[in-house]
Chain A
Amino acid sequence: GENVEQHPSTLSVQEGDSAVIKCTYSDSASNYFPWYKQELGKRPQLIIDIRSNVGEKKDQRIAVTLNKTAKHFSLHITETQPEDSAVYFCAASRYSSASKIIFGSGTRLSIRP
């Protein structure tokens, strides 16, 4: 069935360094790839998304890249700050019928002071 694999499951980086989280998807018809951030005890919230007609998208310190041929997409966080500590989920879906979004298993990111 459709699957999204996410790596690593945990990531610890020094404050100010960059963090990269990688995902692969199995459904070649997927064309919408959102990333959600879930802080401890809170609900997941969308932080950035990318559609298949774009290879890269940036929003201040965060960026997402997409390689449709390889079915890979990645989240890049630069100049990490303590408030970046959270669990991050990637996801994939077909936005023409976006009822079913497949989530990755999550990455727990910790920022060391």
Chain B
Amino acid sequence: DGGITQSPKYLFRKEGQNVTLSCEQNLNHDAMYWYRQDPGQGLRLIYYSQIVNDFQKGDIAEGYSVSREKKESFPLTVTSAQKNPTAFYLCASSTLLAGGNNEQFFGPGTRLTVL
């Protein structure tokens, strides 16, 4: 299924707790992304990274943090500062070839529920 995995599939969190969502890819892709999906709102970009040890904020970065210590891994931490974290989180990766096919490959997603 595209070589990009996310874990866990379902995650429950108590209010005030930080949680970390895992994303791993073996596609040798340079770029990785985190999206949040809410019903009727499409895919909103949280953070993205083009290269190891570098990442950029997306449209809704507040309350989230990421790291990119390895090319294959791009974990997302949902902090207690995120006011409404219950959502479906999708990780994606792509190549960064100028003029090339930069199709985004998505992971299976993590459904986070705050209790």
Contact = CB atoms under 8 A, between A and B. Distances in A.
Interface of A: 1, 6, 9, 32, 34, 36, 42-46, 49, 89, 93, 95-101, 103-106
Interface residues of B, number: 30
A24 to B, nearest CB: 14
A89 B106 contact: no
Interface of B: 1-2, 31, 33, 35, 40-45, 48, 50, 56, 58-59, 90, 94, 96, 98-104, 106-109
B99 A49 contact: no
A46 B104 contact: yes
27 contacts: A9-B40, A34-B104, A36-B104, A43-B2, A43-B90, A43-B107, A43-B108, A45-B106, A49-B101, A49-B103, A89-B42, A96-B98, A97-B96, A98-B94, A99-B31, A99-B48, A99-B56, A99-B96, A100-B45, A100-B58, A103-B42, A103-B43, A105-B40, A105-B41, A105-B42, A106-B42, A106-B43
Contacts of B94: 98
